[in-house]
Amino acid sequence: MLASASPQRRAILESLGLDFTVRPAHVDELERGDAAQVALHNALQKARAGGAHVNSAPAAHDVVLGCDTVVWLDGQIHGKPADERAARATLRALSGNTHIVVSGVAVLGAGEPRTAVARTAVTFRWLSDELLDWYLSSAEWRGRAGGYAIQGAGAALVRSVDGDFYNVVGLPLVSLLDIYPQLLSFHREAPDVR
Question: How many whole angstroms separate alpha carbon 29 and alpha carbon 126?
Answer: 31
Pick 4 or 111 by higher pLDDT. Answer: 4
- Percent of all residues in the chain with a pLDDT value above 70, rounded to a whole number: 91
The counts of H helices and E strands in the chain are 6, 5
Comparing CA positions, the residue from 111, 24, 110, 19 lying closest to residue 67 is: 24
Question: How many whole angstroms separate alpha carbon 6 and alpha carbon 93?
Answer: 25
pLDDT category, 108, cuts 50, 70, 90?
very high
**What is the per-residue pLDDT for 189?**
59
The average pLDDT across 119-139 equals 97
Assign 52 to helix, strand or coil: coil
Question: How many whole angstroms separate alpha carbon 129 and alpha carbon 10?
Answer: 33
| Edge-to-edge strand ranges of the sheet holding 158-162 | 76-78, 64-73, 98-108, 114-124, 158-162
Range list of β-strands (E), the chain:
64-73, 76-78, 98-108, 114-124, 158-162
The average pLDDT across 80-89 equals 95
What CA–CA distances, in Å, run from 14 to 60, 81, 150, 182?
Answer: 21, 27, 19, 16
Say whether pLDDT at 194 is over 60: no
Question: How many whole angstroms separate alpha carbon 80 and alpha carbon 147?
Answer: 6
Question: How many whole angstroms separate alpha carbon 1 and alpha carbon 23?
Answer: 7
Q: What is the mean pLDDT of the chain?
A: 89
Say whether pLDDT at 28 is over 60: yes
Question: What length does the chain have?
Answer: 194
Residues annotated as catalytic are 68
Say whether pLDDT at 190 is over 60: no
